């Protein structure tokens, strides 16, 4: 059984007659993917990396992490090294559609959070802070 009944982590994608199977990432996996992308980009500041380069690196790293079962002809190929970037982007788009649907299913099936308790009469209620009594430091220094 998965995290929530009826919402399983496993997925299967068939694209151009090729079948890919895997598991959607947990938050821990997503952090690992982020670290891997940063390492692959040499730790350079994100603003200095072209957006297309970052997107493709992130796409390949996520697919590499989540897809567990590949077609035989792709078993020894890293997604980043696959010679057809358009195929990789199409595969990622199909994966993203399925992942987004999975996330919606998780949100729909989440248990409500613990009820908020009402403040007791003895607890101070938060009041806005006013700085009307504080003089401007610059005017006092002059």
Spatial strand order of the sheet with 67-69 comes to 10-15, 18-23, 67-69
For the stretch 40-85, pLDDT in tens is 999 898 899 999 999 999 999 999 999 999 999 888 889 999 999 9
Q: Which two tokens stand for residue 55?
A: 């997107």
pLDDT at 114: 45
For the stretch 127-141, pLDDT in tens is 555 555 555 545 555
Cβ atoms of 22 and 10 within 8 Å: the answer is yes
pTM, two decimal places:
0.70
């Amino acid at each position: 059984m998965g995290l929530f009944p009826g919402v399983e982590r496993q997925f299967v994608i068939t694209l151009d007659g090729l079948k890919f199977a895997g598991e959607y990432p947990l938050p821990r996996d997503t952090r690992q993917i982020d670290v891997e992308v940063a390492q692959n980009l040499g730790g350079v500041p994100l603003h200095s990396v072209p957006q297309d380069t970052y997107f493709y690196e992130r796409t390949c790293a996520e697919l590499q992490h989540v897809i567990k079962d590949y077609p035989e002809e792709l078993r020894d190929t890293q997604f980043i090294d696959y010679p057809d970037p358009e195929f990789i982007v199409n595969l990622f788009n199909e994966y993203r559609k399925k992942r987004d649907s999975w996330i919606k299913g998780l949100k729909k099936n989440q248990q409500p959070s613990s009820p908020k308790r009402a403040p007791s009469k003895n607890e101070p209620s938060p009041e806005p802070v006013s700085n009307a009594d504080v003089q401007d430091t610059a005017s006092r220094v002059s």
